[in-house]
């Protein structure tokens, strides 16, 4: 992954026990996804979209597949490659400052003022879907700009624009029915529109795991 501050090499997450995550426990996988920390305590770079709002399956507002059971790939013996980042970005301890500014750890808490359906949707958007990762603008430090939540973003690493989900002039959902949204997220297409590019892959993976 070519980033403004260097190149990140994504790790092996196949079921191989030596070079992948085959030896990880379910709790270790959850902790990594929730806290942004590896088993040895080292911090993950923000390019990894941690699901901090995700709750354990037993407490989720809707049934969800476990992290490891979703990776249905055979083991692959591929040693991980070290990142090639410029100074000072190659110093992981500096991520402590970034986390103070942008990393909001904490499981999703249902809003008692809202319906069960509303909370389920909020959990899918904030927890499993992590829609803000693409559809919310980021600043120079790769942190989300909360004042522009879901208003669209140019993803430079993919040369792709994730449209606004709030403006009906783009892909805003304000005029969509629930059935139309469900149809799009299950089939890539509805009579209101279609998805393609990176979002098509997201829809495919979502449909296959729910």
Q: Is the pLDDT of residue 65 over 50?
A: no
Question: Residues 29-57: pLDDT tens digits?
Answer: 888 888 888 888 888 887 776 666 677 65
3: number of Cβ within 10 Å: 17
Q: Give pairs for 168-176: CB < 8 Å, separation 24+.
A: none
Mean pLDDT of the chain: 79
Sign of CA dihedral 128, 131, 132, 134: positive
Question: Looking at residue 180, what is its pLDDT?
Answer: 85
The secondary structure of residue 144, as a DSSP letter, is B
Full-model pTM: 0.60
Q: Which two tokens stand for residue 6?
A: 């260097």
The partner residues of 37 in beta bridges, in order of sequence, read 43
**Interval 190-206: pLDDT, tens:** 777 788 778 877 777 66
């Amino acid at each position: 992954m070519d980033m403004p501050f260097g190149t990140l090499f994504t790790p092996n997450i196949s079921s191989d026990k030596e070079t992948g995550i085959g030896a990880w426990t379910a709790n270790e996988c959850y902790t990594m996804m929730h806290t942004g920390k590896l088993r040895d305590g080292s911090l993950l770079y923000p390019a990894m979209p941690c699901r901090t709002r995700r709750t354990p399956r037993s407490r989720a507002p809707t049934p969800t597949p476990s992290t490891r059971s979703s990776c249905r790939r055979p083991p692959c013996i591929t040693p991980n490659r070290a990142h090639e980042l410029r100074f000072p970005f190659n110093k992981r301890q500096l991520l402590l400052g970034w986390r103070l500014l942008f990393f909001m750890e904490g499981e999703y808490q249902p809003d008692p003022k809202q319906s069960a359906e509303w909370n389920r949707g909020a959990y899918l958007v904030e927890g499993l879907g992590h829609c803000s990762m693409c559809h919310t603008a980021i600043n120079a430090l790769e942190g989300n700009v909360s004042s522009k939540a879901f208003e669209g973003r140019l993803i430079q690493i993919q040369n792709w624009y994730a449209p606004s989900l709030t403006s009906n002039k783009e892909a805003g959902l304000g005029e969509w029915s629930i059935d139309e949204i469900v149809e799009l997220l299950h089939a890539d297409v509805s009579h209101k529109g279609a998805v393609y590019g990176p979002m098509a892959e997201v829809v495919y993976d979502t449909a296959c795991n729910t």
